[in-house]
Structure 1
Amino acid sequence: MWKETVSVTPPYHFDRVLKRLSLDPLNAVDLTERSVKVPVRSGAGELCIVTVRAAEGTASEPVFLVSGETNRQEMMERIREIFQWGKSLQAVHDHFSKTNLSALFEEHAGTPLVLEYSVYNCLMKCIIHQQLNLSFAFTLTERFVHAFGEQKDGVWCYPQPETVAALDYQDLRELQFSMRKAEYAIDTSRLIADGTLNLSKLPFLSDEDIMKKLITIRGIGPWTVQNVLMFGLGRPNLFPLADIGLQKAVKRRFGLAEKPSKEMMLDVSREWEPYLSYASLYLWRSIESSSP
């Protein structure tokens, strides 16, 4: 067992991180202990469980205790990336203090853009969540992971692409996937498994090149790519105009009588660049229930 104490540049509000992670039933979050168990695969494919726990630190002096069984250096590198510990939020908050979202960023100060545990997880989650209400989307994703994923120490991990690539469409239909959604998930996994789509190369490409590459795949549209860019790769400047939750949040934030048009969304968001992803995150938080 290895343990490492990590101090992070403030502001960083871990309780808000945990609260948002707890919305997904697959995440092993303990709000009382202020901890989360993260399933991470090593480069060799070994499933490792890493525990991230708040130490005695606060949002203004964040300190974490990270522990695991194996692959210390590799796991620490991935944990730092997932929780975005190498990126200071101060510049983001300074930027938004001069915008029409200043009050929102004051209310949710210190909330980082935490990533999904792998790019593949993020891609599968986005495909499953397409055009579903959030409650059933989480239910369907949970069924998918419980049926074909891997469990270790009580923590669930998404299946590997090769596992999903070997499935028949009917395997997912039995979980209540639509036929198209089953095809999208399995066919995309087959492209990854046979090397046609190499996810490990995406971090080295621009947002535009990733959009061009992924948008050609059946079942992957702009909304999915934008979410992969944000929550799979941590890109800072994405604002999914077609996202219903964002439209709802903008309507509420600016007191609109009707759902905002694309033109209105573009107009109101201009001053948020180059941190559109953070604006998206904080707007989503504004409509999530019981946000601390």
Structure 2
Amino acid sequence: MIQTFSTENFHTLCDTLAAQDRALDLILKTHGYPPMWTRPNTFESLVHIILEQQVSLASALAALNKLRDKIKKITPERLLSLTDEELKACYFSRQKMVYARLLAEAIQNKTFVPKAQEKLSDSAVRTNIVALKGLGNWSADIYLMFVLRRADIFPPGDLAAVNALKQVKKLPKDVDPEKLLSITKRWQPYRSVGTMMLWHHYLETRKKPSAAGEKIKKAISL
């Protein structure tokens, strides 16, 4: 059965994990409930994920907003109509131009159908995502969590989540990655919710009471 989270059960799942894990309980008591970060199942959301690769959330959001300003609605057809120079002016690197165009073509020719992913297992969705050039396991994790709201995902390639886990568990920086995965396995079948609690801790402990922290949160959820 496909496990998902929703506005109806999100806080309950946070409470369930907090009751099982003292570190998560402390996050909840210190920072409150995390935002339930989600995105619609659209081409735009997938482009956003591409733009987020190996750059700051703020930089990715700036590129996405620039693209929105240029073509208004982000669709495969409109993105494919842009020249290299126009995409570069929207802060796309040459590599990300290639990835976004190939994604647009895959959706146009129906080799990848976003709506169809909603009925597939997590592993099947992952297989379909990583088959797209430029989209790897981290992209699949973000898509599964934010877009499909799958409840049991932990992204080992996400530095913010990993560093937050090391911090709340008081682990050394060079801890074995398998140790981290073994910790998150205790949160099954709600690892996505535990990850959002980690992100919440990461953001709250690094921001000042200013618009900067809100901008980062907005970048995640858009």
Pairwise TM-score range, normalised by the shorter structure = 0.7 to 0.9
The corresponding residue for 1:54 is none
- Aligned partners of 2:17 and 2:91: how far apart in 1? 44
**125-134 or 186-195: which moved more?**
186-195
What does 1:1-292 align with in structure 2 at a 5 Å threshold? Answer: 84-87=6-9, 89-100=11-22, 101-111=24-34, 113-150=36-73, 159-288=74-203, 289=207, 290=209
TM-superposed deviation, 1:272: 1.1
Cα 1:181/1:120, change in 2 over 3 Å: same
- Aligned partners of 1:260 and 1:226: how far apart in 2? 22
Does the residue aligned with 1:196 lie in a helix, a strand or coil? coil
Determine if contact 2:38/2:146 at 8 Å carries over to the other structure. yes
Does the residue aligned with 1:97 lie in a helix, a strand or coil? helix
- Aligned partners of 1:260 and 1:167: how far apart in 2? 45
Q: Which amino acid aligns with 1:234?
A: R
TM-superposed deviation, 1:90: 1.6
TM-superposed deviation, 1:243: 0.5
- Aligned partners of 2:174 and 2:104: how far apart in 1? 35
What's the RMSD between the two structures over aligned residues?
A: 2.3
In terms of fraction of residues, the more strand-rich structure is 1
Q: Which amino acid aligns with 2:55?
A: L
Determine if contact 1:127/1:224 at 8 Å carries over to the other structure. yes
- Aligned partners of 2:174 and 2:198: how far apart in 1? 15
TM-superposed deviation, 1:200: 1.0
TM-superposed deviation, 1:149: 2.4
In terms of fraction of residues, the more helix-rich structure is 2
Determine if contact 2:187/2:194 at 8 Å carries over to the other structure. yes
For structure 2, the residue ranges without an aligned partner over 5 or more in a row are 215-222
TM-superposed deviation, 1:176: 2.8
TM-superposed deviation, 1:242: 0.9
TM-score (norm 1): 0.63
TM-superposed deviation, 1:234: 0.6
- Aligned partners of 2:13 and 2:59: how far apart in 1? 37
- Aligned partners of 1:208 and 1:107: how far apart in 2? 34
Determine if contact 2:141/2:153 at 8 Å carries over to the other structure. yes
Structure showing greater radius of gyration is 1
TM-superposed deviation, 1:144: 1.8
Asked which structure has the greater RCO (Cα within 8 Å, sep 6+), the reply is 2
TM-superposed deviation, 1:218: 0.5
TM-superposed deviation, 1:194: 2.5
